[in-house]
Amino acid sequence: MKDISELLGCRYPVIQGAMGVICNPEFVAAVSEAGGYGLLATAFLTDPGKLEAQVAAVKKLTDKPFGANLMAVNPKSLEFAEVLADAGVGAVTTSAGSPKRLVAYLKERGVKVLHVVASVANARKAEASGVDAVIAEGSESGGVQGFNGASTMVLVPMVVDAVKVPVVAAGGIGDSRGYRAAFALGAKGVQVGTRFIASKECIAHQNYKNALIRAEETDTRVLNMEWAQVRVVHTPLVERMTEGRDKANFSAMEASLEDAWVGGNLEANTIPAGQITGMIREVLSVREIIEEMVR
Ligand SMILES: Cc1cc2nc3c(=O)[nH]c(=O)nc-3n(C[C@H](O)[C@H](O)[C@H](O)COP(=O)(O)O)c2cc1C
C-alpha cells in the first residue's frame, strides 16, 4: 500500500482526529473537501439519531469520503456503528478500549476500522482482533491519553515493527516537517488534532484558538482524571487544578465542555491541546493546513 489514502478513499493520507463537540458537519466536510479524511466524533453523543442527522448533514456538504470515531468504552458505540454502516460510511476509527466487539460488527458490514493505540502491546491486540490499520498516538498529543505513554518518535517505529497492518502516526504533527517525519518513521499516514483546531472552519471559539496561538511548546499540562489523563492548555483554571485549589473532577464538568470549547469561557472547563500548539502562530483554512503538510 502506497499510503493510507488508498484504504480511506481520500486524496491525501491525512486524517482529521475526532475532537468531541468541535467536529461539526461543516468542519468535517471541509476537511474531506480539502482532500483529507474528516471524522465526526461520538464521545459526547448519547442519541444515535443525532449521529444519523450529522452524517446526513455532512453528505449534503460533500460527496467525498468521511468517517467517525467510536469510543469502545461507550456502551452506545454499537448503536452508533449501526448508524454509520447503514449510511455507507467507508471507514471509522475506534479508541479508548478494546475494538474487538466493534470490529466484528463493522467488518461484517464492510466498514474499515482503524484503532488508536498508545503501546506496542495494544497495537498487537488490535491487529489480532482484525483491524485494517492502527493509529499510533504519542503522548505529546492533545486530549485524553493513558498513563506512561511514549512519544510519537518512540512509539511509531516500534509499532511499525510489531504489526503487519498499516500504521498511522498521531501526536505532534502540525506541518510538512512532522508529516514527512511520520513517513520516515514508517507510518503510512498521519492523524492531526490540535493544528486543525486553529483553522478557519473549526467552530472552536476564538478564545480557544488564541490560546493555541499564544501557547509555547511548554504550555500544556497533563491532568489526572483517575481512569486516564488529559493534555490541556495551561490556563488559570488548570493552574488552580494542578495546585489542588480547584477540583479536577472531569465527569462532573462534561456539560461545561461546550461552554469552554465553543462558548469561549475558559473558566468553565479545560481546553485540550497537544505540545504542537507551540508551533501554531496563525489560523489557516483546513485546505491551507493540509496542502502545506503534503506539499
Ligand atoms: C479537543 C480534543 C478532543 C479530542 N477528542 C477525541 C475523541 O473524542 N476521540 C479520539 O479518539 N481522540 C480524540 N482526540 C485526539 C485526536 O483525535 C488526535 O488523535 C490528537 O489530537 C493528535 O495529536 P495532536 O493533538 O498532537 O495533533 C482529541 C484531541 C483534542 C485536542
- 74, three cell numbers: 461507550
pLDDT tens profile 122-131 = 999 999 999 9
- pLDDT value of position 228: 86
The whole-number pLDDT of residue 242 equals 83
Question: Using CA atoms, how far apart are residues 162 and 150, in angstroms rounded to an integer?
Answer: 15
Residue with CA at minimum distance from ligand 1 atom 2: 19
- How far is 273 from 205, CA to CA, in rounded Å? 14
User: Mutate which of 76, 93, 141 to test ligand 1's pocket (most atoms within 8 Å of Cβ)?
Assistant: 141
54-70: per-residue pLDDT in tens? 999 999 999 999 999 99
Q: Residue 167: pLDDT band by 50, 70, 90 thresholds? A: very high
**What's the 173 CA to ligand 1 centre distance in angstroms?**
12
Instruction: Give the residue-averaged pLDDT of 151-157.
Output: 98
Pocket of ligand 1 from Cβ distances under 6 Å: 17-20, 41, 43, 69, 95, 116, 137, 140-143, 170-173, 191-195, 272-274, 276
Q: Classify 129 in phi/psi space as left (phi over 0), alpha (psi -120 to 50) or beta.
A: alpha
42 alpha carbon to ligand 1 midpoint, in Å? 12
Domains annotated for the chain, with CATH where assigned, are 5-201+281-294 (3.20.20.70), 206-278 (no CATH)
Supply angle C-alpha 264, 267, 269, rounded to 5.
Answer: 80
Helix (H) or strand (E) holding 27: helix 25-33
Mean pLDDT along residues 185-198: 98
Query: Sheet containing 91-95: which strands, arranged edge to edge?
Result: 14-16, 189-192, 167-170, 133-137, 112-117, 91-95, 66-71, 38-41
Residue at 265: amino acid letter: N
Q: How far is the CA of 124 from the centre of ligand 1 (A)?
A: 22
| pLDDT digit string, tens, across residues 237-264 | 999 988 876 665 555 556 689 999 999 9
The alpha carbon of 63 and the centre of ligand 1 are apart by a number of angstroms equal to: 25
pLDDT for the residue 256: 87
